Every structure is written in structure tokens, then in C-alpha cells.
Amino acid sequence: MLALRGPLGQGFSLPESARRLALISLAETPARLLPLASQAIKGQLAIALFTDAHMTGLPTALEIQPLSALSEALLWADFIALELPLGSLPELRPRLGLSATDRLPCPAQVLITTPMPCTGMAECGACAVPAQRGWKLACRDGPVFNLNELSW
């Protein structure tokens, strides 16, 4: 007998008011953000992808910027979608050029990539993400989180 599960957890949800979307990938590849880019293109949003990964074959509506231009993303975007490994969460503020007390100028959601050895059963805690109030599990509560709900 074969039992299939998935998809697990929560995904990105673009606010209807969004007009300028910044996609920021601190992962090896921004591939997990590209479905969101497709959705945004259909909604006629302006989109910029910030990554240092070499990408080819992307839609022409998608502007590509290096991670060194992240400060521009914060000034331009009215919604930010990030992807990063769990271990990079403590480095996020400095990468964005923010101090410990600075807040983002717009809403942001983050896709946390982390191992989920229990396959979403929320039993092992290996995917625990530090939150403002305790811990959240990427397999159950995420893997996409409102950035302001996390300790970063």
C-alpha cells in the first residue's frame, strides 16, 4: 500500500494591495520563489528578484538584481517574499542592512528551508523555528511565515 502526503504547511499569500514585489533568495537557488513570480506576473505586479544565483530562461517581466542591491528592495517593494535556510535567519537583519530595532517598511513573508525528517507529523521538532512567542514548526506552522512573527 502506498500512502502519499502533501503538500505540507502554509505557502505564500500575496496581499491584494501589492503592486511591487521583491523576491529575495538567500538560498542556493531561487527556484522555490519562481511560482510566486508567475502568480505575480499574472496579476501584473512589478517584480524584482534579488539573488546571486545564475539564472537563465526567466520571464522578461522579472527584473534580476544582485543581493548587494537589497537596500533598494526595501525602499521599492510594498511586499517582500524571502527564502532562506533556517541557519541564515540570525544573519537576516545585517544582510538587509537593518539594526536590531529597525522594522521592515512593508509586509514580508519568509520561506524557511529546513529538514523535516518526520515528514510533517510535527513529532520530532527538527524543523523548529524561533518565534516571538516560543517556537513554530516549519512542517506544521510553515514553511512560510510572517516575518514579524519570528525572532530574527
Q: Give the whole-angstrom CA distance, residue 3 versus residue 1.
A: 7
Flag whether 2 is in a domain: no
Count: domains in the chain: 1
49 in helix, strand or coil? strand
Distance of alpha carbon 6 from alpha carbon 98, whole angstroms: 36
Kindly state whether residue 11 falls inside one of the protein's structural domains. no
Q: Which residues pair with 79 in a beta bridge?
A: 21
Domain contains 35:
yes
> Which pLDDT score is estimated for 125?
84
Q: Cα(85)–Cα(99) distance, rounded to whole angstroms?
A: 21
In a domain, 8, yes or no: no
The residue range of the domain holding 37 is 20-149
Domain membership flag for residue 15? no
pLDDT on residue 3: 59
The pLDDT assigned to 33 comes to 94
Residue 27, domain member (yes or no): yes
Q: Establish if 13 belongs to a structural domain.
A: no
**Cell digits of residue 101:** 530595532
Asked whether residue 137 is domain-assigned, the answer is yes
Q: Distance between CA 113 and CA 64 in Å, rounded?
A: 22
The domain that contains 66 carries what CATH number?
Answer: 3.40.50
Confidence (pLDDT) at 58: 87
- Reading the chain (152 residues) residue by residue, the pLDDT tens digits are 665 555 567 889 999 999 999 999 999 999 999 999 999 999 999 999 999 998 888 888 899 999 999 988 899 999 999 999 999 999 999 999 899 888 899 999 999 999 887 766 677 888 899 999 999 999 889 999 999 999 99
What's the pLDDT score for residue 1?
67
Grid cell of 65 as nine digits: 538584481
Cα-Cα-Cα-Cα torsion 112, 130, 6, 109, nearest 10 degrees, comes to: -50
Q: Give residue 4's pLDDT.
A: 55
